[in-house]
């Protein structure tokens, strides 16, 4: 049954990893603006097309 101890340890570590990822995301400002990225992803960066006349 001691395998449970290992599993518990891993599960807490994985969850902790997600917690750290979340805190990092907040810190880096990913929750500051939840609207603009949804528009930004629709822009293409194909500059070649534009320079065509």
Q: What is the DSSP string of 14-46?
A: HHHHHHHHHHHHHHTTTTT-SSHHHHHTTS---
Helix, strand or coil, per DSSP, at residue 51: helix
- CB of 44 vs another protein, minimal distance in Å: 7
Distance from C-alpha of 10 to C-alpha of 28, rounded to nearest angstrom: 27
32 contacts another protein (rule: CB under 8 A)? yes
Interface pick for another protein out of 3, 6, 8, 10 (rule CB under 8 A): 8
Q: Which residues bind another protein (CB under 8 A)?
A: 1, 4-5, 8, 11-12, 15-16, 18-19, 22-23, 26-27, 31-36, 39-40, 42-44, 47, 49-53
């Amino acid at each position: 049954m001691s395998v449970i101890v290992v599993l518990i340890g891993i599960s807490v570590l994985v969850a902790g990893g997600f917690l750290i990822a979340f805190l990092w995301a907040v810190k880096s400002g990913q929750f500051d603006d939840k609207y603009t990225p949804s528009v930004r992803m629709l822009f293409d960066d194909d500059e070649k097309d534009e320079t065509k006349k």
